A and B are shown apart, each in its own frame.
Chain A
Amino acid sequence: MSLAAGLLALPAVIYFVVFNYLPMAGLVVAFKAFDVSQGIFDSPWNGLENFRYFLDSGDAARILFNTVFLNALFLATTLAAGVTLAIMLNEIRSTLFKRVSQSVVFFPYFVSPVVISIMLQVFLAGASGGGGAVNDMLNVFSLPTLDWYTEPGPWPWILTVVKVWQLGGYMSVIFLAAITGIPEEVYEAGMIDGASRAQMAWRITLPLLRPTAGVLTVLGVGRIFYGDFGTIYAIVGDNGTLFDTTDVIDTYVFRALRQLGDFGTTAAVGLFQSVVGFIFVVIAVMIQRKYAKETSVL
């Protein structure tokens, strides 16, 4: 029995060893003056010098804040959107309509961030770089227009809207699956007690979705230190005016690596990110264990 279970787990174990554990040896590069021709293990050591690049830059505090703030925002809004959509979809009685709606809300998940970036540019700046659909709309109502691509203020919210559009449907599918798992008897009991559909959604569905939400939150918090590189970089790119509110660790590291190709400093920031990310996961799990023991999976 245990041998069979072990064999079943083997592919996953191999996967993690090869792709996640072995490469960790490369982390030494964070402590080395990396030289292309000498390779990782033969390059000379240079202590904590590589970490100074990030910590001395004066940007560290802002970038750390942006990373946590944006991710917390994304996590909270996509979870909320997912639950709401799931409950709404669950109330649809026509199977065909339900299926179609499900596919439609799920679709944005497959849209590449690059395509999203281009769509946003058309919305916010227009094809010829002056105007754009949003500004045209503001004009209609005689509201002041904005040079969106040089105004950092609204960007956390713009990105949040993008994220919700992108992930809301995806999250809703997970919650829908959880809703299907809720025993029918609970609803029947509710019905006998004379609960309306809204009351059942509020008092039965929602509380019973807590374990799923809990797991997704723990997983999300574990990744809170990882900026959403794909979306943010595709949309903001090297637009310095927006860095104040949108620059996260990953985009920062990526720019440093691309502009100078210095592996030592980028590995140092990557290591820093992993360590802090790990601490976040541990804290999240501990809090869950303490306050929501029944929903904790870890």
Chain B
Amino acid sequence: MSDQNLSRRGLLSVGGGLTLAALFAGAGCSSSQRSAGSQSSAPGKALTLSLLLPGDVPAGWDAVLAEVNKKLQAEQGFTIKPQFIPWANYGQQALLKFTAGEGFDTALQARWLNMTQLAASGSIVELSSLLGSGKYPNLTATLDPKIVELNRWSGKLYGLPQINSVARFHHFAIRQDLADKYGMSEIADFAGLEKFWYDVKQKEKDITPIGVNSRMPKLLVAWNPVGWLNPYMWENPRTSIASFTGESLAFVLAADGKQTGSANPVPFWEAPGMLDALRLVRKYYQDGLINKNALTVDSKALESQFKAGRFATAWAMTDGLTSQMLPELTKNVPGAMLSNVVPLKGGKDAKPYQTFQADNFLVLNAKGQSNEKAMQLEDWLSIKENHDLITYGIQGKDWNPIGDDKYEMLSTYTFPGFALSWRAKLERRIKDMTASEAAWFDWAQKADNFTIDPYASFTPDPEPVKRENTQVTAALTQFANPLFIGAVDVDQGLDKLKKALDRAGLAKLQAEMAKQADAYLKGQ
């Protein structure tokens, strides 16, 4: 759930002196212009790379870091000093640090963070020449060239894609023990899921069928590759969707754009299936299938409630991490079981659209101490032994290998690998991965199981419509999110949303999207 963990908690720390902080950051910018060109450290002086990582400091981190640094110093001649920033603040703080011109070396970035903006402003390093220099054989051996190609934006590579499966496909993690109880041994389609939810509602007084957290509303109806609660899209998983920024309006692009040369972007509600999905979610909400505090509840809080057995369904991703919830769940609810449900029509042969865009990138700071050393670090982490050390911790204490590609967790050490060391080819699976998760995880490893989205590497540039985009985003938070979780009447809510978007500059945004998407099609 790597990208779902951002939440509002802790933002308070930035709160009071918000403007002040922003001003400070900016003020620092002018005064602390580091010698950006100094690409190598002075001889004899120990170089310590500074890394920004999201989340809390892992349990047992000091021992792992000491081991990593010992090895790094001996083999590469430098050490690392990662800085963990809680998820709630990560996006904000990372941006402030870039803005202030701090000299850290690497960071996690993504389109759902501030990567487009940082690329546009030249704050992060374009990596083509570094990666193509041939100096980093271990890294290139573990990075699929096809994935690298698809993650170029207008031909430029701004980050190293951090992936542990080739394709990212969100879906459902359900309580299989409950499904078994109701005689549904295998749920394969959306209708089955719906029956499961209503059964849970009817038969389990204390369990809410579907858990939705405050970061999820935008995923529910109009999302790439499918809206989570949109049955039409699960049946027709071939819709191209684009938005200027992570939280902005989803435009649906014409499927025949390549033939006609016209992308014809329309706001999501004009595309087939969307209105029905909104009405369906509204019904679910009114029938009590969705938690009433969906717009407020934090992702971590929701996850802990799921592990406590209070929800029957959680959001899941093809990243092999669902089964990690099982130990705690079974501790709280003896006999509980999880399974992963991907209700695609046609199952594993559905060949849904996929943009192959990585959710997470490692980026190099243009003002970092040494970009070459940072690449060296990534290369070093692409060697299985080193990768395992930082990802799973100290062997024998934190984990034990099982064969070549599995592992057993011995402690609670969890490292945010997606921010530094995810290599699809090196990742080990947790020993107790459920059969259903293993099957779908396997499925997501093969690019042939997917159809490349005709707009796969289209990355709209928000700069020309910056103000409109901000206003549209604000309007969405206020009017679309309640609509997406079903908290308001569909017709009234949509009417309000449309009015707010018109005022915010939807027409201009749509025209700009059409212009850029058409240009993209032309360049194909």
Contact = CB atoms under 8 A, between A and B. Distances in A.
Nearest to B367: A37
B478 interface: yes
B466 A230 contact: no
Contacts of B477: 238, 240, 255, 259
B26 interface: yes
A56 B469 CA distance: 13
Contact of A128 (B98, B310, B471): B310
Given A129-B294, A259-B247, A229 B16 contact: yes
A56 B471 CA distance: 9
B291 A125 contact: yes
Contacts of B211: 129
Chain A binding surface, main DSSP class: helix
Contact of A233 (B15, B245, B471): B15
A234 B18 contact: no
Interface in B315-367: 366
Task: Pick the most buried of A118, A147, A238: most chain B CB atoms within 10 A of its CB.
Answer: A238
B23 A23 contact: yes
B208 A129 contact: yes
B123 A37 contact: yes
Contact of A121 (B20, B122, B297, B503): B297
Interface stretch (A94-102, A157-165, A265-273, A287-295): A265-273
Contacts of A261: 95, 99, 114, 117
A269 to B, nearest CB: 8
Contacts of B123: 36-37
Nearest to A229: B15
B12 A113 contact: yes
Interface in B99-134: 99, 101, 114, 117-118, 121-123
A36 B118 CA distance: 8
Interface residues of A, number: 70
B108 to A, nearest CB: 15
A129 B488 contact: no
A29 B23 CA distance: 8
Given A128-B310, A240-B481, A39 B29 contact: yes
B117 A129 contact: no
B467 A121 contact: no
B305 interface: yes
Given A36-B98, A128-B208, A263-B22, A239 B295 contact: yes
Interface string A37-54: 101111000000100110
Contacts of B101: 39
A129 B22 contact: no
Contact of A37 (B122, B291, B504): B122
Nearest to A239: B295
B24 interface: yes
Contact of A26 (B26, B33, B480): B26
Task: Pick the most buried of B16, B290, B301, B471: most chain A CB atoms within 10 A of its CB.
Answer: B471
Contacts of A266: 18-19, 22
Nearest to B89: A258
A58 interface: yes
Interface string A132-174: 0000000000000001111000000000000000000000000
Contact of A129 (B23, B293, B482, B503): B293
Contacts of A256: 470, 474
Chain B binding surface, main DSSP class: helix
Contacts of B247: 259
B5 interface: no
A257 B471 contact: no
A36 B121 contact: yes
Nearest to A29: B26
A115 to B, nearest CB: 10
A114 B245 contact: no
B471 A57 contact: yes
Given A229-B18, A255-B474, A257-B22, A125 B487 contact: no
Given A114-B12, A241-B295, A257-B22, A57 B473 contact: no
A235 B91 CA distance: 20
Contact of A270 (B19, B95, B117, B297): B19
B474 A149 contact: no
A43 to B, nearest CB: 9
Interface in B299-313: 301, 305, 308, 310-311
B174 to A, nearest CB: 16
Interface string A247-261: 100101111111111
B92 interface: yes
A252 B471 CA distance: 11
A129 B245 contact: no
Nearest to B483: A240
B192 interface: no
A130 interface: yes
B143 interface: no
A254 B12 contact: no
A118 B500 contact: no
A258 B91 contact: yes
B296 interface: yes
B77 interface: no
B58 interface: no
A39 B26 contact: yes
A27 interface: yes
A149 B293 contact: yes
B392 interface: no
B292 interface: yes
Interface in B446-505: 466-467, 469-471, 473-474, 477-482, 487-488, 500, 503-504
Contacts of B369: none
A34 interface: yes
A258 B23 contact: no
A59 B12 CA distance: 23
A50 B14 CA distance: 22
B245 A259 contact: yes
A127 interface: yes
A236 interface: yes
Task: Pick the most buried of B9, B20, B297, B473: most chain A CB atoms within 10 A of its CB.
Answer: B297
A136 to B, nearest CB: 13
A12 interface: no
Contacts of A124: 293
B107 to A, nearest CB: 14
A237 B14 CA distance: 14
A150 B295 contact: yes
Contacts of B439: none
Contacts of B25: 263
A46 to B, nearest CB: 11
Contact of B470 (A58, A118, A229, A260): A260
Pairs of residues from A and B, 6 with the lowest C-beta to C-beta distance, nearest first: A129-B291, A26-B23, A270-B19, A39-B29, A240-B478, A125-B293
Interface of A: 19, 22-27, 29, 34-37, 39-42, 49, 52-53, 56-59, 112-114, 117-118, 121, 124-125, 127-130, 147-150, 229-230, 233-241, 243, 247, 250, 252-263, 265-267, 270, 273
22 contacts: A23-B23, A36-B118, A36-B121, A41-B30, A42-B30, A49-B467, A53-B470, A114-B10, A125-B293, A128-B208, A129-B305, A149-B296, A229-B12, A229-B15, A229-B18, A234-B9, A237-B214, A239-B214, A240-B295, A258-B91, A261-B99, A270-B22
